[in-house]
Amino acid sequence: MRIVVDWDRCTGMGMCESLAPDVFEVDDDGSLIVHSEEVPEGQEGEVREAVASCPTEALSLEGE
Ligand code: SF4
């Protein structure tokens, strides 16, 4: 399963980082860094929660 980011929608709010900090990071200037495009084993729950919680719906999952 792969994480897809709609970069035009992401506003760097960091909700995803707070829910799945191993996968998402928002740096000091508000840019999102995705550490692993593939959802790491054992992190599916956190990543799904992060995807569902993004206020701008910038995140989606591919290959479910
Ligand atoms: S929660 Fe959504 S808008 Fe905020 S940094 Fe993550 S992807 Fe971007």
Separation of alpha carbons 49 and 18, rounded Å: 10
Q: How far apart are CA 8 and CA 56, in angstroms?
A: 10
How remote is the CA of residue 20 from the centroid of ligand 1, in Å? 11
Nearest ligand 1 atom to alpha carbon 32: 5
Question: CB within 6 Å of ligand 1 — which residues?
Answer: 10-16, 24, 26, 32, 54, 56, 58-59
- How many structural domains compose the chain? 1
- CA dist 31 and 13 (Å) reads 9
| Cα–Cα distance for residue pair 59/52, rounded to 1 Å | 8
For the entire predicted model, the pTM comes to: 0.94
The residue contributing the CA closest to ligand 1 atom 4 is 13
Residue 40: give its domain's CATH number.
3.30.70.20
User: What's the mean per-residue pLDDT of the chain?
Assistant: 96
Identify the residue whose tokens are 């909700």: 15
pLDDT at 64 over 90: no
Average pLDDT value for residue range 20-33 = 96
**27-48: pLDDT as tens digits:** 999 999 999 999 999 999 999 9
Q: Which structural domain, as residue segments, surrounds residue 58? A: 2-62
